[in-house]
Amino acid sequence: MKNHINIFIVEDNYIYANLLKRELSNFLPCEISIYTKGKDCLDNLYKIPDIIILDHNLGDMNGMEVFKEIREVNQEAPVIFLSGQKKMSVAVEALKHGAFDYLEKNEFAIRLIKEHVQKLVHYCNFLKQKHTYNRFKAGFFAAVLLYVVSILYLYLI
């Protein structure tokens, strides 16, 4: 299990993105990448982010377009929308397509993001532990099977 959580912040307001990065960096050990354009985020999905914080109003694409393309590449990464977009239909669409949450940028947004990220960190760690356990279990059963087959082979010769 890695010590740092890999977070993508996709936000066209660079000042706000850096404020968010500073708050999260002070809050937990994480590696944070800031992308001011949706395409830049999509081009860097090979870095396999653990969490993506996504603005809806981006310069080159809107958040839903970016989100749908993220889902084509990575079904697992939790995406939190953080936007000044106040249309309920946008929030509903994001949640319907599997976003972890949709938060409005306001005076409580940073606190809520920190709470959500903390929950997601625990969830990501749980998934990594489960994956490690499943790999161990598969390796163990493969070793037992190999042992049994070798004993049978020796017995039959």
Candidates 109, 110, 91; CA nearest to 100 is: 91
The 10 Å Cβ neighbour count of residue 122 is: 10
Q: What percent of the chain has pLDDT over 70?
A: 94
Q: Could you tell me if 132 and 1 are in contact, meaning their C-beta atoms sit under 8 angstroms apart?
A: yes
Contacts of 47 (CB under 8 A, 6+ apart): 6, 8, 33
Residue 30 structural domain: 5-131
Question: What local confidence, expressed as pLDDT, does residue 1 receive?
Answer: 37
Q: What is the DSSP string of 24-49?
A: HHHHS-EEEEEESSHHHHHHTGGG--
In a domain, 146, yes or no: no
Is residue 136 domain-resident?
no
Domain assignment of residue 141, yes or no: no
Please check whether residue 35 lies inside any domain of the structure. yes
Average pLDDT, the chain: 86
Token pair 């490690």 is found at 132
pTM score over 0.85: no
Question: Is residue 144 domain-resident?
Answer: no
Higher pLDDT, 58 or 4: 58
Confidence (pLDDT) at 147: 76
Q: What is the CATH classification number for the domain harbouring 99?
A: 3.40.50.2300
Instruction: Look up tokens 């993506």; give the residue.
Output: 52
Residue 120 in any domain: the answer is: yes
What DSSP character marks residue 70? H
**28 within some domain:** yes
Helices (H), the chain: 14-27, 38-43, 63-73, 88-96, 109-156
- The predicted-structure confidence for 112-133, as pLDDT tens digits, reads as follows 999 988 888 877 777 777 767 6
Alpha carbon distance 68, 41 (integer Å): 12
Residue 70, pLDDT score: 94
In a domain, residue 140? The reply is no
Number of domains within the chain? 1
Q: 5-40: per-residue pLDDT in tens?
A: 899 999 999 999 999 999 999 988 889 999 999 999
pLDDT in tens, 46-98: 999 999 999 998 887 899 999 999 999 988 889 999 988 777 888 898 888 88
Distance CA 65, CA 79 (A): 13
